[in-house]
């Protein structure tokens, strides 16, 4: 049977809970509703982590550590699952994503733009609208599956990009795409 989730109310408590998990260990953490976004601590690497939330629980990507890295390295090497959480980018950064071994979002809201740095699945997720030319998701050579998701776009939803010699496989089932630009970009998918 699965262990009872640990409930945390701020980033400091999230950091403390993750610090107790050994490398290759696993944990489920409930993020309590909070007006202040949670940020991922550096001690979240190489673990199996499930973060659950509810209305008001937001996980903010950490500002990139240097100009050559667009990713949040907080979860590097981890299998990351987010449930019922709003995910938003760091202020003034674009095209960020979680650098992790795998990414699974269920019943989440994704604000801003996210670049994939691991294979990802999105189930019952909502992608909030924002101004073009940015995409909701940039695949960056990663495979992604979208099931029962809603994209509220300004013409740009998923950009399938693959670095040289890399192939991305993208699957979408029962998703809704709304283009608020009324087709002016012709890039809803």
pLDDT digits (tens, 9 = 90+) for 5-27: 899 999 999 999 999 999 899 99
pLDDT digits (tens, 9 = 90+) for 68-125: 556 778 888 999 999 999 998 766 555 678 889 999 999 999 987 888 889 999 999 9
Query: What is the model's pLDDT at position 132?
Result: 61
Query: What is the model's pLDDT at position 188?
Result: 46
DSSP codes joined into one string, the chain: -PPPPEEESSHHHHHHHHHTSPTT-EEEEEEPP-SSPEE--GGG-SSEEEEE--TT-EEEPPPPSSTT--EEGGGTT-EEEEES-EEEPPTT--SBEE-SSEEEEES-EE-S-EE-SS-EEEES-EE----TT--SEE-TT--EEEES-EEEESSB-EE----TT----EEEES-EEEETTTTSS-B--
Query: What is the model's pLDDT at position 64?
Result: 57
Query: What is the model's pLDDT at position 62?
Result: 76
What is the band of 153 on the pLDDT scale with cuts at 50, 70, 90?
Answer: confident
């Amino acid at each position: 049977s699965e262990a009872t989730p640990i409930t945390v109310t701020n980033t400091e408590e999230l950091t403390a809970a993750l610090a107790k998990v050994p490398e290759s260990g696993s944990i489920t953490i409930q993020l309590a509703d909070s007006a202040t976004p949670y940020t991922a601590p550096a001690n979240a690497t190489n673990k199996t982590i499930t973060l659950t939330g509810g209305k008001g629980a937001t996980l903010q990507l950490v500002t990139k550590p240097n100009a050559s890295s667009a990713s949040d390295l907080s979860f590097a090497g981890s299998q990351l699952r987010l449930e019922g959480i709003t995910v938003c980018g760091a202020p003034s950064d674009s095209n960020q994503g979680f650098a992790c071994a795998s990414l699974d979002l269920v019943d989440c809201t994704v604000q801003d733009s996210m670049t994939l740095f691991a294979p990802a699945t999105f189930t019952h997720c909502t992608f909030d609208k924002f101004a073009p030319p940015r995409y909701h998701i940039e695949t960056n050579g990663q495979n992604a599956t979208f099931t029962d998701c809603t994209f509220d776009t300004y013409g740009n939803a998923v950009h399938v990009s693959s670095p040289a010699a890399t192939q991305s496989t993208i699957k979408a089932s029962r998703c809704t795409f709304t283009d608020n630009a009324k087709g002016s970009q012709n890039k809803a998918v």
